[in-house]
Structure 1
Amino acid sequence: MKVFKFGGASVNSIERIQNLPNILSAYNGEKLVIIISAMGKTTNALEKVTESFFAGNKDEALALFEVIKQQHITTAKYLLVTHFNDCLAKLSDFFTEVEWLLHDKPVREYDYYYDQVVCIGELLSTVIVSHYLNEAGVANTWLDVRDIIRTDDNFRDAGIDWAYTEGRAKAVFGNWLYGNADGGTNIYITQGFIGSTDENESTTLGREGSDYTAAIFANLLNAESQTIWKDVEGVMSADPKQFPDATFIDELSFDEVIEMAYYGAQVIHPKTIKPLQNKGIPLHVKCFLDSSLPGTVISSKRVKNLPPIVIIKQNQALMHLHSQDFSFVGEQPMSDLYELFGKIKLKPNLIQTGAISIQLCLDDREEKLNQLAAAASNEFDVQVEKGLSLLTIRHFTNELLHKMTEGKTIVLLQQTRETVQVLY
């Protein structure tokens, strides 16, 4: 059994959805669990719906959501004939789920509403793709992943209840794995990125969390492998959209990919590797535009002589914390600070400490930055600098570092033997 994950780019047009049967034909007869993301820029559009709703602009939120509805209905019309009515009925259920919420007034925190609205993107895309594949002769069974993946209520970055989720996965997939249930279909299609609390409230696992969802299923079902299908030939040394001369890397270790993901590489969600590494399940990154290409293999094997790997994170903020009474920044202030990170659910991208000061590089999420600044002001004088970018180079050379930072105003720099990070 294999687990596949198709990202938003692989289902962002009629033509790309129509290409899926060609890819799957190479795996005819194999058992597949297929995780599918929201189509194209749907998640971004749903974020704008949430923002309008939370700001009290109900009519604007409903109008923005209507555009998303019509885009999905139009896609279904172009793809489907015999299965269109069934598909539309299922889509309408999810449309109603969001519209019912948007007619209300926000009384809970933003992150809660974010998850209730944004999760719909994956549900809509999988409904359309599942119906299309069935109509195209690729028999499959659609599942609502919220009935399987149980999480806590840390909205927008939910933690997995592994024991409950494992029990549900065995209940749903047990007969299928060792026999042939569901009328003989070898393929299950479900959603990435989302889960559900024990009170049936939708949650999300963090942006780009579909990779992680696939890894959860691969781990719990003891998959032979996991494959992430992307619009590039495999893992590249940099984002090819930013760096056209980025080079292809055919093989990587789990350790290296964890480091890349930690520093912000978009190729794989940071939480993806642990469930795979724990069971020795190899991860393949392949190109849906040309499925004959070998792609990148990621495994426990150590790989040497890697090229410099470049990662840039935009929209960064630097928080300067200065001791109010000029006392040293020792164990207790740092302990207090890490406790705040846990409470606010913030992960610094870079920390630099001095005798009486601390500098924190963070993603510029205004609401959370304000929470941290307010709480930290009990012990520190706080200043925030915005509009920054964080450059990370793994296996750097001095020549490349100079080239990448030439003309930039460097605010902060950290360097080890393997990695250099520059905030500019």
Structure 2
Amino acid sequence: MKFGGTNMGDAAAIRHSAYLSQRSSKEGVKVVVVVSAMAGVTNQLLGIAEAAEKGDIALANDQIAGLRTRHFTAAQDLGAAPDSGVVREIRELLETLRQAVYGVYLLRELTPRSRDLIVAFGERLSAPLMALGLSSLGARAHHLTGGQAGIVTDSHFGSARPLSTAAGRIRDRLSGLLDAGLTPVIAGFMGETEKGAITTLGRGGTDFSATIVGAALHADEVWAWKDVDGVMSADPRSVMGAQNIAQLSYGEVMELAYFGAKVLHPLAVTPLQEAGIPLRVKSAADPDFAGTLVTSEAQTDGQHPVKAVTAIRGVSIINVSGAGILGVPDVVADLFAALARENITLLMVSQSSSMSNVSLVILGSDEEHTLAALTPPMGGRHLQVDVQRGVAVLAIVGAGMRGTKGVSAKLFSALANADINILMISQGSSELNISVAIEGADVEHATRTVHSAFGLDAEPVADKPGTDTR
């Protein structure tokens, strides 16, 4: 069971999350708990690290003091005495955090490795609180960091990936705890290298942690507890008619996550695919609701080939052109190699049939590194690089699109009728998604328009007799 930041937000939320875990344990199910940082703490830690790098150690220390108060208050509300082991552990962790931040301040340098060390303190601080919450309900719990749980990764700090040896380590380190009747509580989002350096798995990586552990233990299911009913057909903050999707395939949920749906980490289902382990996305506020079931099988009804509409905001289009690119077959390979060295993710790629230009869609946050990677002449070729900012990528996703005629026509017609210009188009060979780049200012209107065009809006709830609707 994975619990997100909202479900770890304060003592009351932690106590409720612990109850959800215990509810299954009392039914005879062995449960492993994986936790996120308390809501907002990851962003706060990033802010602390950046303040230290800029030399504002006073601001960094003030923020650390705020973390101390918040975590001590939660521990006290969960029943910890002032001199308890949990309080001492939290105090020691915060002192280690302070020292790490001070090191960044002295050097005025925030490396990916030191950023991972600092940002992982959110989960390291929340895991003892969840163990405390379980203990208050009579459960025997033992908390571990991701590395202590056996999640060994490569050294790509900020977006680390588990090594093939991780599964065996996880089984070795957790099986004994489970056999002894203990509930392991694992700090999500983090692992460690073979040399013991702390790594993180990318934003939303607690989902990934949970599925890595679930696959290693051959779990019956992995449950991701959220503050929503499941995976929705669109962002409910943008589309009032968004509704829960009962079932998705691994491929569909990966496409949704990759193209902006924040409900799951893009790689979360990959550890589960080979073993065919189901993933359930459930609401902590309504635990008896089925939520969304993610399996290997795609469920299609023939009437709704598209299951969801999602969008990535804040992206840029990089156009690469010039005489040096015309008719040169290896230029795209050179481009991709240059971007791979900078660990830059490409959201969309398009090349003209004349091979005179290549267009790349990247996250806006990667723009500086992308331009730096493409600026030196590649193979002696001088290229022209132009940037179009303020762009969004809108994607429709659904296994039912495969072989269904007219899906693209409906998408393009809906956008045209809404007076929305398409800047770039991409469709994967799997036919699970069609994505378009549009002006960022149009993304909200475009999402609502396309959601309605494919008949995804939920039916309005009829007023109950005698209800005053004023």
TM-score (structure 2 length as normaliser): 0.82
The 3 A distance-change label for structure 1 pair 69 and 397 is: farther
- CA shift digits 1:321-353 (9 cap, x unpaired): 112x35426431111111122211111111111
Alpha-carbon shift at residue 215 of structure 1 (Å): 0.9
Alpha-carbon shift at residue 408 of structure 1 (Å): 4.3
The 3 A distance-change label for structure 1 pair 47 and 25 is: same
> Could you say which residue in structure 2 is the equivalent of 1:133?
134
One-letter amino acid of the counterpart of residue 328, structure 1: L
Alpha-carbon shift at residue 109 of structure 1 (Å): 5.2
Matched, 1:161 2:163: yes
The 3 A distance-change label for structure 1 pair 69 and 385 is: farther
**In the aligned structure 1, how far is the partner of 2:73 from the partner of 2:327?**
59
Any idea what SS the aligned residue of 2:235 has? coil
Matched, 1:253 2:249: yes
> Could you say which residue in structure 2 is the equivalent of 1:8?
5
- CA shift digits 1:73-130 (9 cap, x unpaired): 2222222245872211111121112111112223765322221111000111111121
- Decide which of 411, 434, 439 is 1:419's aligned counterpart: 434
Alpha-carbon shift at residue 176 of structure 1 (Å): 4.1
- Decide which of 254, 270, 275 is 2:271's aligned counterpart: 275
One-letter amino acid of the counterpart of residue 172, structure 1: R
Alpha-carbon shift at residue 410 of structure 1 (Å): 3.8
One-letter amino acid of the counterpart of residue 356, structure 1: S
**In the aligned structure 1, how far is the partner of 2:99 from the partner of 2:320?**
44
The 3 A distance-change label for structure 1 pair 49 and 329 is: farther
Alpha-carbon shift at residue 296 of structure 1 (Å): 1.4
Please say if residues 315 and 393 of structure 2, whose CA atoms lie closer than 8 Å, have aligned partners that are also in contact: yes
Alpha-carbon shift at residue 60 of structure 1 (Å): 2.1
In the alignment of these two chains, the number of paired residues is 412
The 3 A distance-change label for structure 1 pair 327 and 173 is: closer
> Could you say which residue in structure 1 is the equivalent of 2:461?
none
Alpha-carbon shift at residue 280 of structure 1 (Å): 1.0
Structure 2 unaligned regions, length at least 5: 399-406, 440-470
Please say if residues 247 and 292 of structure 2, whose CA atoms lie closer than 8 Å, have aligned partners that are also in contact: yes
**In the aligned structure 1, how far is the partner of 2:72 from the partner of 2:48?**
18
> Could you say which residue in structure 1 is the equivalent of 2:465?
none
The 5 A counterparts of 1:189-338 are 189-305=185-301, 306=304, 307-323=306-322, 325-328=323-326, 330-338=328-336
Matched, 1:98 2:94: no
- CA shift digits 1:234-261 (9 cap, x unpaired): 1111121222211111111112112222
Please say if residues 83 and 131 of structure 1, whose CA atoms lie closer than 8 Å, have aligned partners that are also in contact: no
**In the aligned structure 2, how far is the partner of 1:49 from the partner of 1:412?**
38
**In the aligned structure 2, how far is the partner of 1:44 from the partner of 1:17?**
19
Structure number with bigger Rg = 2
Q: Percent identity?
A: 26
**In the aligned structure 2, how far is the partner of 1:223 from the partner of 1:234?**
20
Any idea what SS the aligned residue of 1:236 has? coil
> Could you say which residue in structure 1 is the equivalent of 2:390?
387
> Could you say which residue in structure 2 is the equivalent of 1:74?
73
The 3 A distance-change label for structure 1 pair 337 and 124 is: same
Any idea what SS the aligned residue of 1:162 has? coil
**In the aligned structure 1, how far is the partner of 2:290 from the partner of 2:122?**
30
Please say if residues 393 and 421 of structure 1, whose CA atoms lie closer than 8 Å, have aligned partners that are also in contact: no
Please say if residues 248 and 294 of structure 2, whose CA atoms lie closer than 8 Å, have aligned partners that are also in contact: yes
Matched, 1:120 2:118: no
- CA shift digits 1:217-274 (9 cap, x unpaired): 1111111110111111111111212222111111111121122223232122111112
One-letter amino acid of the counterpart of residue 135, structure 2: N
Matched, 1:376 2:374: yes
Please say if residues 253 and 301 of structure 1, whose CA atoms lie closer than 8 Å, have aligned partners that are also in contact: yes
One-letter amino acid of the counterpart of residue 381, structure 1: Q
**In the aligned structure 2, how far is the partner of 1:150 from the partner of 1:328?**
44
**In the aligned structure 1, how far is the partner of 2:177 from the partner of 2:67?**
35
Please say if residues 414 and 421 of structure 1, whose CA atoms lie closer than 8 Å, have aligned partners that are also in contact: yes
Alpha-carbon shift at residue 398 of structure 1 (Å): 5.4
**In the aligned structure 1, how far is the partner of 2:164 from the partner of 2:344?**
23
**In the aligned structure 2, how far is the partner of 1:320 from the partner of 1:397?**
24
Alpha-carbon shift at residue 310 of structure 1 (Å): 1.0
Worse-matched range after superposition: 78-87 or 291-300? 78-87
One-letter amino acid of the counterpart of residue 171, structure 1: D
Worse-matched range after superposition: 114-123 or 54-63? 54-63
**In the aligned structure 2, how far is the partner of 1:350 from the partner of 1:267?**
21
